[in-house]
Every structure is written in structure tokens, then in C-alpha cells.
Amino acid sequence: MDLTALRANFEVIRHAVGPRVRIIAMLKSNGYGLGAVCVARALEPLAPWGYGVATAEEGEELRRLAGIERPILVTGPLPAESVALAAEAGLTPAMSDPGELERWATEARRRGTPLDFHVEIDTGMGRSGFDWRDTNRWVEAVRAATGSGARLTGVFTHFQSADAVERDPTQLQWERFWDALVQLPVSRQDLLIHAANSAAALRWPEYAADAVRPGIYLYGGHPAVGLPKETLPPPAPVVALRARITLIRQVPPGSTSGYGATHVAQGWERWGTLAIGYGDGLPRCLGNVGHALVRGRRVRILGQMSMDMTVVDLTDVPEAQIGDVATLIGRDGDAEITVEEVAGQASTISYEIFTGLTARLPRVVRGEADAA
Ligand SMILES: *Cc1c(COP(=O)(O)O)cnc(C)c1O
């Protein structure tokens, strides 16, 4: 993990939206799998407005383990059993439902202190938030909650197609958002209004409002892979995934590699075993499909991957030795395997590759020094 690159990506977002727009760095799912505490500490000197997580438990951990004092927005609906934890940790939950509001206001009265919350307006994502269509059903509940201990400090929505070529779906969500927003019983100046994820923040700063919520871009994932390259600045790579060669053998024709013997050596081949497998989060479907970089050269993965080992073809890299470091994601000399390439081979997105990296992989951190 290169924290200098992480901070550079943060600055690219800040530059795109301008100095007056606040940044809520999204740290859900353990900082997209990288390690939320480490990422939060690296971003602290850049003074984001706060951080976003999906659950109260994630937020509480940031307070306790990273010592974060800035606002922490909990974007997912808050289950009843997490209300006390969220209040105790001073988190700012996003509300989606009158029952949820009522529980938050009750907790505030019980404690005798106001408790902040944001309202999410669902404008087409369809997973959380109050429905933009029937504000008359829930605006009253928001008013009741704010009158009895809870404090509405922000309103947001989430775009479902900010990575699409077409801007229309995002524009439509934006209009729905404002139609609903203006009906809330709080004046505009007292609210932090936010909508944009990484893709929207970089492509359309006009939707930035008061704050943006970037995630993937910070971590070096491209937020809109289907678009022409020049549409937005490519992120600096933050993650590299590497493993050592632990064994090298010269094998005769007919030798088979991996479960199901799906690779058969045609002639004499030189095989290298890497100390990494799908148990580390590398997708198993890279078997016979994916690549590694060894000594600056691209080599093929041979046969099905195992949980802890992956075999690569070193026939054309005769100088490779046991102990060499192979790169599964990242750069080696002039060669590069991007997370998007791996995600494409696995029919998924960079987000799932990053969050799938398992605890067994030691996180080796670069650029910590200049974080202080
Ligand atoms: C994950 C998430 C984001 C960040 O999205 P990216 O595409 O990773 O930038 C922003 N807001 C909410 C509510 C999210 O769940």
C-alpha cells in the first residue's frame, strides 16, 4: 500500500471539486479491504470533513483504534441493536425510515444530549433512504425527530450511474433529490448536502454541493472503466499485490499443473510456484487466464489456482530464481497489471478485488513517514 499515492488521489479529488467542497472519505468494508485504521491515519493530515462507513461497528472502530474525532457518517440503515453503540461513539447515522428516526430521537432523549443524523433520500438507487416520491409520508417524521432530541445536520443521495457514459440518469437523480430536499424543515445553511461518489466528483463537480464522498478513487481504482481514458485523471496506484517464488522446477512434456490437470506441458517447461492463492483473495478464475510479472516480464498462470499456491510459466524468464518477488497487481519495471485487468478477467469490479484481499496478506505500507 502506497499512502503517498492515496494522499495524491485525495488531492486530485479536492482539486476537481474546489477548496470549498468538503470531502467525506469512504472507509467502509475496512477501507475497501486495505485497512480502515491505516487509511484514516494517512488521510487525517489532509483534513477531510469526515469519514463514511457502512456500519456503526466500523465507525466505532475508527474512533477507538484510529482516534478519529471528525464526524463519521454511517451510510447503511442503522439496526435497532446498533443504536446505543452509534450514539456512544458519537457517530452520525443516515436515516431511511420513520422507525429508525424514532429510535434515534428516543436514544437522544434518554441521554439528554442532541444526536446528529443525516437523511438519505433514495432517488433511484433503491437500497436505502427515504423515497423521493412521497415526501409527505416522511417529512413529518423528520420534523418530529428533530423536535425531540435528534439533530438533522445533513442530507444526501447516492448516484447509481455516475460511471455511465450518459449523464441523464445522474441529472434525473439530482433533480429528484432537490425536489425532495427543499421540503425538509431545516434551512439550507444548516445542512451538509452531498451526493457525489468518486466518478461523479471527478466528472461533474456541478453535483458536488457541500461535500463529496469518494471511495474507490482514493484507493487507486478507476471509478469509470467503461469511459474513454481522458474522461478523468487516472488514479495513482495505491495497491500492489506481490508474492515470492518459493519453488522452481524444469518439467518434462506431459507434466500437469493444478486440480483437474487443466494445464499440460507441451514441451519442457520451467514452472514457478508462487506463495499466493485464492485464499489470499486472488480470484480463482485467474487460473489459465491471468498473469504475473516476474523480472519485469509478463508470465502466464498455469492450471487452476490453489488456495495457497499458484503456478506460473517461467520458461521465458530463465534468470528467475527462488525468492524472486512476483507481481499479481502492480508494476514491475515497464510491465504493469492493473486491478482493472484482474477485475475484468474475474468478471467483477476493482472494488470486489480490493475488498476480497484477505487478512492473511501482510499489508506492507509505504509513505507512512510523510503522513505525520
Ligand atoms: C461506497 C459509497 C461511496 C463511494 O463510492 P465510490 O464509487 O467508491 O467512490 C459513496 N457514497 C456511498 C453512500 C457509498 O456507499
Query: What is the SS3 assignment for 194?
Result: strand
Q: Which pLDDT value is given to residue 228?
A: 85
Q: Using CA atoms, how far apart are residues 214 and 303, in angstroms rounded to an integer? A: 38
User: What is the chain's mean pLDDT, rounded?
Assistant: 96
Using the mean position of ligand 1's atoms as its centre, give its distance from the Cα of residue 220 in Å: 14
Label residue 371 by pLDDT band (50, 70, 90).
very low
Detail the DSSP E strand segments found in 35-168.
Answer: 50-53, 72-74, 92-95, 115-122, 130-131, 150-156
Ligand 1 and 198: CB distance under 6 A? yes
Query: What is the SS3 assignment for 109?
Result: helix
Angstrom CA distances, 45 to 32, 41, 109, 184, stand at: 20, 8, 35, 34
Can you tell me which atom of ligand 1 is nearest the CA of 214?
9
Residues ≥6 apart with Cβ < 8 Å to 250: 268, 269, 270
Q: Which pLDDT value is given to residue 230?
A: 84
Q: Out of 28, 207, 219, 278, pick the active-site residue.
A: 28
Helices (H), 204-297: none
Question: Which of 26, 163, 227 for a ligand 1 pocket mutation test, highest count of atoms within 8 Å of Cβ?
Answer: 26
Using the mean position of ligand 1's atoms as its centre, give its distance from the Cα of residue 6 in Å: 16
Mean per-residue pLDDT, 112-125: 97
Is 192 a residue whose pLDDT tops 80? yes
Ligand 1 and 287: CB distance under 6 A? no
Q: Is 351 a catalytic residue?
A: no
Using the mean position of ligand 1's atoms as its centre, give its distance from the Cα of residue 224 in Å: 13
- CA nearest ligand 1 atom 1, residue: 215
Ligand 1 and 93: CB distance under 6 A? no
pLDDT 10s digits, 79-89: 999 999 999 99
Question: Which of 23, 202, 213 for a ligand 1 pocket mutation test, highest count of atoms within 8 Å of Cβ?
Answer: 213
Using the mean position of ligand 1's atoms as its centre, give its distance from the Cα of residue 162 in Å: 11
Angstrom CA distances, 9 to 18, 33, 282, 365, stand at: 14, 17, 24, 16
Q: Using CA atoms, how far apart are residues 148 and 117, in angstroms rounded to an integer? A: 13
Q: Using CA atoms, how far apart are residues 162 and 300, in angstroms rounded to an integer? A: 34
pLDDT 10s digits, 240-291: 999 999 999 999 999 999 999 999 999 999 999 999 999 999 999 999 999 9
Q: 217, 221, 192, 201: which is closest to 26 by C-alpha?
A: 217
Is 187 a residue whose pLDDT tops 80? yes
Q: Using CA atoms, how far apart are residues 109 and 104, in angstroms rounded to an integer? A: 9
Helix (H) / strand (E) containing 180 = helix 168-181
Q: 298, 274, 300: which is closest to 287 by C-alpha?
A: 300
Q: What is the dihedral of CA 139, 144, 146, 147, to 10 degrees?
A: 140
- CA nearest ligand 1 atom 15, residue: 75
Using the mean position of ligand 1's atoms as its centre, give its distance from the Cα of residue 130 in Å: 18
Helices and strands of the chain, counted as H and E runs: 11, 18
Mean per-residue pLDDT, 200-205: 97
Query: For residues 280-303, b (16+ Cβ closer than 10 Å) or e, as one string?
Result: bbbbbebbeebbbbbbebbbbbbb
CB 151 within 8 A of CB 125: no
Q: Is 28 a catalytic residue?
A: yes
Q: 175, 171, 211, 206: which is closest to 193 by C-alpha?
A: 211
Q: Using CA atoms, how far apart are residues 324 and 329, in angstroms rounded to an integer? A: 15
pLDDT 10s digits, 1-18: 999 999 999 999 999 999
- CA nearest ligand 1 atom 12, residue: 158
CB 294 within 8 A of CB 248: no
Q: Using CA atoms, how far apart are residues 157 and 189, in angstroms rounded to an integer? A: 18
Ligand 1 and 215: CB distance under 6 A? yes
